[in-house]
């Protein structure tokens, strides 16, 4: 993949920030989002963060994803970014995302160059997730925490940045019709918030390539 892709990635994220109020993603919100996103609901959301880690090896780029352990109480077996809810010790979304990535897959925070942020994602499980995008140079041998992660794999960035790789679907939950994105690659089904975050990245980079 050409170096211009990395520059477009940097340009697409250069103006993003983690200061409040953060922009809210609307890709995966229910069709009647105003009924769902009441002031009381928004106030009750707990802060969380994930790390969208982009690896650069020569001219090859990929995005790290995990398959969640089957023993987890929620979202078991699903594909996700490393991440989780913010602890009292986390001074920022970056600190939150880097800590979780270190705990889940053994990624040294010192290796991560933070490029920016994607839009915040409110979830029906009452989290407000801030996606942090980071760049890592060279090889990485993950050390997965088996209590949280069943598998670590990498999705080629060229796939993640291809709009035609995504399907738009809908599901019904708790009386709401929720649209979502889905990406299928090499036997992996990436859907929901994770696919929505990837599609957000895809759209941002696409806009900077025009």
pLDDT digits (tens, 9 = 90+) for 179-203: 889 999 999 999 989 999 999 999 9
Q: Which residues of 141-170 are buried (b: 16+ CB within 10 A; e: fewer)?
A: ebebeeebbeebbbbebebbbeeebbeeee
* 152 pLDDT above the threshold of 80: yes
Give ∠ CA 110-116-117 in degrees, rounded to 5. Answer: 115
> Quick one: tokens of 130?
């801030």
* 87 pLDDT above the threshold of 70: yes
The 3-state secondary structure of 127-178 reads EEEEEEEEEEECCCCCCCCCCCEEEEEEEEHHHHCCHHHEEEEEEEECCEEE
C-alpha span between 84 and 48 (Å, rounded): 5
Evaluate whether 144 touches 106 at the Cβ level (below 8 Å). yes
Q: Looking at residues 50-71, what average pLDDT do you find?
A: 95
Q: Residue 24: its pLDDT value, please?
A: 80
Distance of CA 130 to the CA centre of its chain: 8
Task: Tell me the pLDDT tens digit for each residue of 95-133.
Answer: 999 999 999 999 999 999 999 999 999 887 789 999 999
DSSP alpha helix (H) spans, 45-116:
93-105
Domain 3-207, CATH number (from 3.90.79.10, 3.40.50.720, 1.10.357.10, 3.90.1150.10): 3.90.79.10
C-alpha span between 99 and 162 (Å, rounded): 30
Q: Looking at residues 137-151, what average pLDDT do you find?
A: 96
Q: Residue 116: its pLDDT value, please?
A: 97
Spell out the domain ranges in the chain: 3-207
Q: Residue 39: its pLDDT value, please?
A: 79
* 21 pLDDT above the threshold of 90: no
Q: Residue 37: its pLDDT value, please?
A: 72
Residue 3 banded pLDDT, cuts 50, 70, 90: very low
Q: Looking at residues 162-185, what average pLDDT do you find?
A: 88
């Amino acid at each position: 993949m050409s170096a211009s892709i990395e520059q477009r990635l940097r340009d697409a994220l250069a103006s993003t920030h983690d200061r409040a109020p953060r922009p809210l993603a609307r890709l995966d919100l229910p069709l009647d989002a105003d009924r769902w996103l009441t002031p009381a609901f928004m106030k009750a959301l707990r802060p969380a963060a994930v790390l969208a880690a982009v690896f650069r090896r020569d001219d090859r780029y990929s995005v790290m994803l995990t398959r969640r352990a089957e023993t987890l109480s929620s979202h078991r077996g699903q594909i996700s970014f490393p991440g989780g809810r913010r602890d009292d010790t986390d001074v920022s979304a970056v600190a939150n995302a880097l800590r979780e990535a270190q705990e889940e897959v053994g990624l040294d925070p010192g290796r991560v160059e933070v490029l920016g942020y994607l839009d915040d994602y409110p979830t029906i499980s009452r989290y407000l997730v801030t996606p942090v995008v980071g760049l890592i140079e060279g090889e990485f041998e993950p050390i997965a925490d088996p209590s949280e992660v069943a598998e670590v794999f990498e999705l080629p960035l060229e796939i993640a940045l291809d709009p035609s790789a995504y399907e738009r679907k809908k599901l019904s939950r708790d009386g709401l019709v929720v649209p979502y994105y889905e990406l299928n690659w090499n036997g992996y089904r990436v859907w929901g918030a994770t696919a929505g975050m990837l599609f957000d990245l895809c759209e941002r980079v696409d806009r900077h390539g025009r």
